[in-house]
Each structure stands twice: as C-alpha cells, then as structure tokens.
Structure 1
C-alpha cells in the first residue's frame, strides 16, 4: 500500500512537473517571440527615424540658392557693392536689391571671402543711441570680441556705423556714417 501511495504521489507530482515544465517552455517561447517582435518593431522605427533625420539634415544644410547677383558664403548670400556710398546710401541700395547691409552669422568667413576685393566695407551695424549699444540691422547685439584693436571709435557729433577692415583681426571698426565706403549687402530668404 505504501508503494502504491508513493507511486500515485510521484505520478501526480511528476505530472504537475511535466505540466509546469511544459507551461514554462511555452511561456519562454512566447516571451522570446515577443522580444523578437519588439526588436523588429524597434528596428523599423529606427530606420524610419534615421530616414527622417537624414531628410531633415539635408533640408537644413542644403545649399541655399542665392538670387543673382548675390554670392553664397557658407549658408548666407552676399553682394559686394563696388561704388563707395555713405552707410545710409549703401543700406538703401541693398534694400533696393531685396536685402540689407550685411549682418553675417560667420563674420570671419565673410572677411575671408572678400579679402581680395576691398579693404574697408560698410556692413549692417550701427550704434543704438538710446540704448548706447552696438547692434546689427537685424536687432542683435554685436559680440565684443569682433572689434579690431582700438575700436569701437566714437565720432563726436555724428552717428557711428560699422565697417569691416579686412587687414584687421578681428575685423570690425566704427566710423562716421557719413563717410563713403564700398559695402556688402546680404539677402535673407
């Protein structure tokens, strides 16, 4: 009788172990299938995100076309005015071309590009008399580190504007807006 009882216990326990082992194996297989499905989904999403990133990067860094007669310098469009004008006349001329005096993001690239063209060029900066601060025509403040040694200079009794002195590093100088200089226009799409 004890042997029969042990046999029943072993069979019952063994059966439960078999069922448990079978359930665990099925469960593990289901988890593995789930993991594989998640991996495939993540791979598809990763590919889609990479494609989106590539398209966005191309759109942001694509070469902008500059309308004639502007020339591209990095990602900006410029035109060198060859006839000396006052700062206000130069700005009016640039505006007539659909642009404004240059307020470059990359001042040193602009300087390098026009280094062989001219020496002193009006660009789009002036002193805001009310705020007593130098600003680009875009309204942004000039960086103090862009001034040539000894600049900015203040002209007594006259409004001061900014020009690039290509032989100076950093290249910005200031002078009376009434002086005549060549200039650089910038087109902003």
Structure 2
C-alpha cells in the first residue's frame, strides 16, 4: 500500500481524466506568520484578480491539468458555524476556482447518512489515492499513496456522495 510519494504536481501531471479532493476537517494547522492569513484577518486579502499576489506552483499544476481536459473537483464537508480556518479557506477559495477547480461545500448537517473516510484524500483518475494524515490539531503528519482498487472505489463513492449534496462555492454561505 505505502510507497515513495511523488510530488503532488507530478501526480496531477500524470492524470488523464479526473482529480478529486475530499476535505472533511474543520481545522488545518496554518503558520500564524502566513501572509494570506494575516491579510485576511486584517480584511485585506489580495483580490483574485491580482494573480501576482497569490498565484503559485499549485495553481499552475491545476490550470495545466484543466487545460489538458482533466476535471479537478474539491468537496469540503464542514461544520457550521464555521471555524476561523474554514472562514479563511472559504475566502481563499476563489483562487482555486480561478485556477480551474470546481469547488463545492457541504454542511456537516446535510452529510447525515453518508459514510465518509477518516482521512482527507486526493483521488487521481479514480484509481490512485493520496491519503492525508493529520494530527488532532490539524498539523499535517504525512501523506501516503494507495492503489488498491477496492479502496479507490470506496473513495470515489464517498466523494460522489458528498459532491451530489454539496453546494457550489459561489452559492455557499457560511452564516
């Protein structure tokens, strides 16, 4: 199951059809010195139109994949009222959308009855999972690759279930 982990950009570059990301945590650790977080807290997050202020290698990778015809989707299951981190993430999401991701949000209340994995993941072409392991405080511990077909099918089903109930970013209100 576990094998050497290529960089995310390489995994996305190898995609031919789809890359989907399921996020289910309400807190992800972020460096208190992060410039975007500081700007957001001060009410001055750079506008999505000012690409020079925020566009980076991740956005290049997503845009390149979308330009090749890869569908890139992200679904977030979140608790409401939202944590500070989720409010920050929501404010930054137009950047993901600008890069070409389709992003949807699902209030945890509307996720009742769904069987969701214990870990966030990326699923590439419906066959390769990049599981994310986090500590309770949201600190990223490690990632691992998993190409077991049964697990990939379960991850795809979990993502699809969230996606079907989720609300597009532009329509999702945190309050």
Q: What TM-score, normalized by structure 2, do the two folds share?
A: 0.27
Higher relative contact order (CA 8 A, sep 6+): 2
Whichever structure has more helix as a proportion of its residues is 1
Q: What TM-score, normalized by structure 1, do the two folds share?
A: 0.26
